[in-house]
Amino acid sequence: MFTLILLALALSMDAFAAALSQGAAARSQATPGGALRIGLAFGAAQGIMPLLGWSIGLAFASVIRDVDHWVAFALLAFIGGRMIREGLVSRDDGASPRQSSLVAGWSLFVLAIATSIDAAAAGVTLNMLDQPVLTSCAVIGGVTLAMATAGVRIGRMAGAIVGRRAEVLGGVVLVAIGIKILVGHLYFGG
């Protein structure tokens, strides 16, 4: 079980970082309910993706490993780039800059999937953990739910310090996560 918890914590780090940036960029909406919504989306994606990877099996593991890093990079770069652009756009009407909203709908779905694509490849190894596959997926999803929910709330506090630049910083974090995933797979084997 200890190995499973370590795996769950490792897989949840990208979701935690993305949730942290969301909380910082959308402080007023980073309420306990908003944080739980983000946590549930990330937790569900992290819980389902290893099951998907496990069900595809070893026969297709190399196909997943060949493209997962590119897909994650593209999705995170797109969402992060959009956050950076919106954070840098100055208001011409003299009004104070608007605060971002917590990601929702399709954007939340895409972000949750993008931060959990590696979990599909990790799902191939679930048989080696000596735990039932559904238990492993539930632990991975639960740990990610807790980490992402906490990330939004911690981000809210950090956003008060960072101020107006929180959305830009959040976008940079998402792009950096995408680059980390890409470089990790291309140069360090995963």
Q: Is residue 106 part of a domain?
A: yes
pLDDT tens per residue, range 40-62: 999 999 999 999 888 876 666 66
Query: How many domains does the chain contain in total?
Result: 1
- Owning domain of residue 170: 2-89+99-188
Q: What is the pTM of this model?
A: 0.75
Tokens of 158: 């950090």
Q: Is residue 182 part of a domain?
A: yes
The lowest-confidence range among 87-96, 114-123, 179-188 is 87-96
Average of per-residue pLDDT across 81-107: 69
CA distances from 69 to 38, 55, 64, 89, 183 (A): 23, 20, 9, 30, 8
CA gap 72, 60 in Å, rounded: 18
The confidence score (pLDDT) of residue 61 equals 63
The confidence score (pLDDT) of residue 3 equals 82
Which comes out higher in pLDDT, residue 120 or 146?
146
Q: Is residue 94 part of a domain?
A: no
